[in-house]
Amino acid sequence: MKDDALLTDHIKRYLDERKQNPAKAAEEAEDRALRLQAFHRWNRDRMMKASPDELVEFFTPLWSMAMWGNKEYQVNQIISDNGLDNLRSRLSDFLWGAAPVAQRWDEFRSKAKWIGPSMMSELLGYVHPDECIIWNKVTVDSLNYLGYAGLPQKTHQIKGDSYQRICAIADEIRDRLSAVSGDRHDLLEVNYLLWNEIHPIAKLADERKEDPISKTPEPEEAQLEEAAEFLHDDVKEKIADIGKWLGFNARIEVLVSAGSKVDAVWEATIGNMGRVIYVFEVQTKGSIDSLILNLLKSKKNAAVQGVVAVSDAKQLEKIRAHAEDVDGLSNLTYWDYTDVIKTHERLEAVNETINALNLVPKGFGK
């Protein structure tokens, strides 16, 4: 149950801190204003005409891009895998469409590649700061600490109706912040309240408990089925991200041999030996026989050195039982999707920390 007194106390502390440190408050206010100004220069017409270079300019200021050292490379991959015209059209409908935000969210998430919930919510938060909140792990940890129950805990669980509810919660917090301060605020300032004031305390409280990832209950089969499509896309993109951070050329939805299009690959060139490829197939629903057949077809490519089946623990046992007697799959490896998510979170944090050091000058190594 939400704790109104706890929220009010933190709001007062946040406002007091701003009064005691006006230079920091002014710097944050300027940062918010510049971010909003940059994104408010965009509209549907400009997006529909945007060049690849302009899309690089559009995406690179996002906090959710902080994990990437070479942001231009990542944005170009977003453009390449979605297609320029398709990406421009989908972004236009997502950000400026007339449909309710929940509907626009689900439509975009189901069809856009490499743009996950954190980036989606950040774009909405800048384009519609009075209506939309930026949703990431810091936000969810802060709302959990404040006592808001029933929130999605993992990125693949963020569907449109959940995001709309989160925005409604943020609106409640904004109303309380405005009532205490006497000023009108947008939801971007609510994010700053959560990130700067509430999350550090929430993190300390959480560190006294078990690892929140390990104590999060696994979804029931019915829940997994409902979220299967989003989960599938989320996990395969995370696998590709992990491969990139490890130095591989990683891609999603790749044709590795005739009739075999796999969810993700990691690829490397080793000296004069040629290519080495690792193939990943994510199973959230559908036929196990189809997964096994696809992996067998992928192994016809001589460069494929390893194949990995990715699913939940229960499904992996079924896949293992089916694959035991299949010739050619003796080296099949199994990866629980929850471990994929945990690995991604940890590598993301490491990458953000390293990139914040600015060890590589901008423009170097492009």
Residue at 258 is within a domain: yes
Residue at 365 is within a domain: no
Q: What is the pLDDT of residues 142-168, one digit of tens each?
A: 999 999 988 887 655 688 999 999 999
137, 148, 171, 197, 221 from 6: Cα distances, Å? 20, 12, 17, 12, 36
- Claim to verify: residue 199 and residue 332 sit in the same structural domain: no
- Claim to verify: residue 85 and residue 112 sit in the same structural domain: yes
Query: How many CB atoms neighbour CB 185 within 10 A?
Result: 17
Q: Quick one: pLDDT at residue 20?
A: 94
**Mean pLDDT along residues 35-45:** 95
pLDDT tier, 295 (very low <50, low <70, confident <90, very high otherwise): confident
* Structural domain span for residue 162: 4-216
Q: What is the pLDDT of residues 245-294, one digit of tens each?
A: 888 999 898 887 777 788 999 999 877 667 889 999 998 777 788 888 88
Residue 308 near residue 334, CB atoms below 8 Å: yes
16 pLDDT exceeds 80?
A: yes
Q: Quick one: pLDDT at residue 222?
A: 44
Euclidean distance between CA atoms 311 and 239, whole angstroms:
12
- Claim to verify: residue 206 and residue 248 sit in the same structural domain: no
What is the CB-side half-sphere exposure of residue 245 using CA atoms within 13 A?
20
Q: Quick one: pLDDT at residue 226?
A: 46
Residue at 362 is within a domain: no
- Claim to verify: residue 48 and residue 189 sit in the same structural domain: yes
Euclidean distance between CA atoms 97 and 91, whole angstroms:
9
- Cα dihedral value 188, 124, 203, 178, nearest 10: 30
Euclidean distance between CA atoms 340 and 124, whole angstroms:
27
Instruction: Name the 3-class secondary structure at 307.
Output: strand
- Claim to verify: residue 210 and residue 286 sit in the same structural domain: no
Residue at 366 is within a domain: no
Instruction: Name the 3-class secondary structure at 29.
Output: helix
- Claim to verify: residue 145 and residue 83 sit in the same structural domain: yes
How many domains does one find in the chain?
2
- Claim to verify: residue 34 and residue 117 sit in the same structural domain: yes
- Claim to verify: residue 209 and residue 257 sit in the same structural domain: no
210 pLDDT exceeds 50?
A: no
- Claim to verify: residue 204 and residue 301 sit in the same structural domain: no
* Residue that finishes a domain, picked among 189, 216, 243: 216
Per cent of the chain over pLDDT 90 is 50
Q: Is the pTM of this model over 0.85?
A: no
Euclidean distance between CA atoms 148 and 150, whole angstroms:
7
Residue at 224 is within a domain: no
**Mean pLDDT along residues 181-192:** 95
Q: Who has greater pLDDT, 341 or 121?
A: 121
* Residue that finishes a domain, picked among 148, 182, 216: 216
- Claim to verify: residue 134 and residue 283 sit in the same structural domain: no
Residue at 23 is within a domain: yes
